[in-house]
A and B are shown apart, each in its own frame.
Chain A
Amino acid sequence: MAVLEVEGLARHYGEREALRGVSLSLGAGETLVVFGPNGAGKSTLLRVLATLLRPHAGTVRVLGSSLPEDAWSVRGRIGLLGHEPLLYRELTARENLRFHARLHGVPDARVELLLSAVAMSARADEPLRALSRGMVQRVAVARAVLHEPELLLLDEPNANLDPVAVELMEPLIGAASGCTRVICSHDPSGGLAEADLVLGLRAGRTAMARAAADVDSAAIAELYR
């Protein structure tokens, strides 16, 4: 069964078209990597798939449910890691994760497990504003996978992470997570290594949609010219 089925998706902000005519299909356990220059519509695509933005045209089915009509039925099955960590700066990492755990009906034991998995147990009681951006990103990863989502939507997930942290995150948001993933990336080689499918966006339109095996770094670089 396709986890994502998108056909002719359009979304605009006022007069500006952020997405137009985007179509894709993604099976369970597969990874779609989305490339494109700044403003191409990558983040908008993720927010539509996450049910946070309504599609203005086209059909969108996520985990078998049509958006926006049945959005309620897929909330709690999606993990979103965007540019914003979706965490409160004045709360500690532990307080933030416990807050989200309550909202998802997840036991506190999983919070401790994830704090340890992202190597943040020692700093878990410091307010987020006192942590580096990389540390906040680790907590954001823990927040995104807290409820064991089936679909991960990741917008440049390795931003601000050092190489050790990237390895730490692998079991949570990498291929080993077993989740179906949509990843926005600007890193051709790293992105292609993760991808089963590649979607290239330019000015909100599909510029490339192929199996990853048929794409090389030069083709990705071409998207940015």
Chain B
Amino acid sequence: MKAEVDAPPRVKAPADVSAVDGPAPADASARTPRGPGIGVTVGALLRKELLVELRTLESVPGMALFAVTTFVVFHFALNRDTIDGDEAAGILWVTLLFAAILGVNRLFVADADQGGFDGFLLAPVNRTAMFVSKALALLAYLVVLELVAVPAFSLLLLGPSLAQAFPGLLAVLLLGDIGVAVIGTLVAALAVRTRARDLLGPLLALPLLVPVVIGCARASSPLLSIAHATGPPARWLLSLGLYDLVFGLIAFALFDFLLED
């Protein structure tokens, strides 16, 4: 049965908020008819993301606390004052990975629970902006996590001086963080609309992040050894960079579809 329009459309007065509230702004006509550019959209989304995290403190404090607690546990469980080399690199990166998973799991929760997805999807914006902003937010969380976790690791477990390892370690941390941010964002977007999101996120993320952890641990190991190297092995840095790039492209291609019904 089809609803029939029996009468011609009524002509109604245009929207006039000014009747309620004073004159309309002079620049109202200056609104962008096709929506803002991706830079503006990313900026707005990232600002919102960081504001929500600052107000709720749901992700970063938990991540940092988890990492520090894990180092304390290792300190006593290994019954050793110091570690170095492969062992140090392995413990550092596995701990950072599990701490990062806590952030990955929370990444889209506010959007899914409070209608943020719908609000975003109704706007005439490039949807890749949400991926970029979420990945940048996760990257920021990881940097803050490492500002706490790496010194704590040095204090509680690491034998060799962190100062000597630091310049090379910085490059490894950056490449590792980019990998975790890209893959974590992709997986979080996939998992958040499922009922088992808390389980599905880590189950999907961990296998995909294993190569990142292996690459980061191998690249960090010489830097964290007693006779530490001057820099991380180039082949591992290259592998990490390539892995980040491949997943960046995959995320770019897939992310729009993850937001679709």
Give residues in A with beta carbon < 8 Å to B.
Answer: 7, 23-30, 32, 50-54, 72, 75-76, 78, 80, 82, 84-91, 95, 99-100, 102-107, 109-110, 113-114, 116-117, 127, 143, 145, 147-148, 168, 171-172, 175-179, 196-199, 206, 209-211, 213-214
Contacts and interface: CB of A to CB of B under 8 A. Distances in A.
Interface string B1-19: 1111111111111111111
Contact of B15 (A80, A89, A116, A179): A179
Interface stretch (B47-55, B134-142, B148-156, B218-226): B47-55
Contacts of A206: 1
B118 A86 contact: yes
Contacts of B44: 99, 102-103
Contacts of B19: 171
B124 A75 contact: yes
A178 B12 contact: yes
Contacts of B114: 84, 86-89
Given A99-B48, A105-B31, A30 B25 contact: no
Given A117-B21, A171-B15, A178-B13, A23 B2 contact: yes
B120 interface: yes
Interface residues of B, number: 57
A103 B125 contact: yes
Given A103-B123, A110-B25, A88 B116 contact: yes
Contacts of A177: 12, 15
Given A51-B121, A88-B114, A109 B13 contact: no
Given A27-B8, A206-B1, 20 more contacts: A23-B3, A24-B3, A26-B5, A53-B261, A72-B124, A76-B123, A78-B122, A82-B115, A86-B114, A86-B122, A88-B110, A90-B56, A91-B51, A103-B44, A104-B31, A113-B25, A116-B22, A145-B15, A177-B15, A209-B1
B15 A52 contact: no
A107 B28 contact: yes
Nearest to A175: B12
A103 B42 CA distance: 9
SS class, residues of chain A in contact with chain B: mixed
Contacts of A86: 114-116, 118-119, 122
A176 B13 CA distance: 6
B1 A88 contact: no
Given A86-B116, A105-B32, A196-B7, A91 B55 contact: yes
A102 B43 CA distance: 9
B15 A95 contact: no
Contacts of A7: 2
A196 B21 CA distance: 28
B249 interface: no
Interface string B149-172: 000000000000000000000000
A28 B55 CA distance: 43
Ranked 4 nearest A-B pairs via Cβ: A105-B32, A76-B124, A102-B44, A109-B25
A111 B62 CA distance: 35
Contacts of B199: none
A102 B51 CA distance: 15
Interface stretch (B33-41, B81-89, B175-183): B33-41
Nearest to B40: A102
29 contacts: A23-B2, A24-B2, A25-B4, A25-B5, A27-B5, A51-B122, A52-B261, A75-B124, A84-B114, A87-B119, A90-B56, A95-B51, A103-B35, A103-B123, A104-B31, A104-B123, A104-B124, A105-B36, A105-B124, A106-B31, A113-B17, A113-B21, A113-B24, A175-B12, A177-B12, A178-B14, A199-B3, A209-B4, A210-B3
